[in-house]
Amino acid sequence: MTPEERHFQDRIDAGEKIEPKDWMPEGYRKTLIRQIGQHAHSEIVGQLPEGNWITRAPTLQRKAILLAKVQDEAGHGLYLYCAAETLGVSRDWLTEQLLSGKMKYSSIFNYPTLTWADIGAIGWLVDGAAIMNQVPLQRTSYGPYARAMIRICKEESFHQRQGYDIMLKMARGTPEQRRMAQDALNRFWYPALMMFGPSDKESVHSAQSMAWKIKINTNDELRQKFVDQTVPQAEYLGLTIPDPDLKWNEERGHYDFTQPDWNEFYEVLRGNGPCNADRMEARRRAWEEGAWVREGLMAHAEKRRARRAAAAQAAE
């Protein structure tokens, strides 16, 4: 470790925040760009599965709530791209990384939303898992990232409650609604568990990231916490978690549960999830078909700037 690196690590160990203008190791910067970028992309791609039901939301109120939620997600994407930009990369560059497939987004968004209950399940399980991941990141060492997470976490917990509320309505509703709710839980349970990433034993970058306080808890810790929190919620809903081996372990003080199928996880990462191609195509099309808009607005801004400059000069 160089003296600079030593000093850097000491600051982190002392709980200081690293700010954009501070010196930082190249690895720290790169890891953060990857992590924040991936998180930002997830918010953006994450609009799509829920957006799929905005035009079919069953009541005006539900439609409004869902619109507001998806709007929040776009907002989160924006905060996070801004946080990433403080590390010296542009939003356009990050977008290109996404669209070329070089940067990933959370694999959960490669699963389809097939019934209205999926909107509930996403709020309850997916936002629930996201919060579990994100709450500790409010204490992450990189200042802009930590501050973005604080704003995001506040909104996410609101989303989770709304999702749970949908599930509750469905679980207490007609037999068909109940069936939708159970079906949604069946399909989203394991993908939600995957959101914490593979077991720490498999995870290469974990140790360094934890030392840098970019990562605060291990994947397995968070996954366990999520299961422990979610099981009683499912019981309250009267829904069955699709894991016959799930049971309370008195000794550990935790639920024992079945690991997700990690082969499926790696398949989805490789692009073979149910919706990878559709999601990427939707984002690519939005980007390409929006090119003339971005160019038009930029050209106009440039004209205005030039006109103002000319007017200022004439006034002198």
Here's the x/- map for another protein, 167-186, by CB under 8 A: it reads as --xx--xx-xx-----x---
Binding segment for another protein among 1-9, 13-21, 204-212, 276-284 (CB under 8 A)? Answer: 276-284
Q: Which DSSP string corresponds to 67-135?
A: HHHHHHHHHHHHHHHHHHHTTT--HHHHHHHHHTTSS---GGGGS---SHHHHHHIIIIIHHHHHHHHT
Binding segment for another protein among 18-26, 62-70, 196-204, 222-230 (CB under 8 A)? Answer: 62-70
Residue of 204, 53, 189 lying closest to 125 (CA atoms): 189
Q: Note whether 62 binds another protein by CB under 8 A.
A: yes
Q: Of 27 and 296, which CB lies nearer to another protein in the complex structure?
A: 296
Residues 209 and 190 sit within 8 Å (Cβ to Cβ): no
Q: Which of 11, 17, 29, 63 binds another protein (CB under 8 A)?
A: 63
Minimum distance, C-beta of residue 208 to another protein, in the bound complex (Å): 31
β-bridge mates for residue 248, sequence order: 255
Minimum distance, C-beta of residue 205 to another protein, in the bound complex (Å): 27
Q: Of 77 and 209, which CB lies nearer to another protein in the complex structure?
A: 77
Kind and range of the H or E run holding 40: helix 26-45
Binding segment for another protein among 8-16, 133-141, 210-218, 268-276 (CB under 8 A)? Answer: 268-276
Q: Which of 115, 182, 217, 224 binds another protein (CB under 8 A)?
A: 115
Minimum distance, C-beta of residue 37 to another protein, in the bound complex (Å): 14
Minimum distance, C-beta of residue 30 to another protein, in the bound complex (Å): 24
Minimum distance, C-beta of residue 150 to another protein, in the bound complex (Å): 20
Residues 123 and 164 sit within 8 Å (Cβ to Cβ): yes
- Please, how many CA atoms are within 13 Å of residue 243, restricted to the half-sphere of its CB? 22
* Residue showing tokens 């970028």: 37
224-246 in b/e burial notation, b at 16+ Cβ within 10 A?
A: bbbbeebbebbeebebebebeeb
Structure tokens at 43: 């918010």
Binding segment for another protein among 72-80, 195-203, 206-214, 239-247 (CB under 8 A)? Answer: 72-80
Residues 196 and 226 sit within 8 Å (Cβ to Cβ): yes
| Total residues binding another protein (CB under 8 A) | 64
Q: Which of 207, 286, 306, 310 binds another protein (CB under 8 A)?
A: 286
SS3 306: helix
- Please, how many CA atoms are within 13 Å of residue 150, restricted to the half-sphere of its CB? 8
Minimum distance, C-beta of residue 14 to another protein, in the bound complex (Å): 36
* Binding region for another protein (CB under 8 A): 44, 47-49, 51-52, 54-64, 67-68, 70-71, 74-75, 77-78, 81, 112-116, 166, 169-170, 173-174, 176-177, 183, 187, 267, 272, 274-275, 277-278, 282, 285-287, 289-301, 303
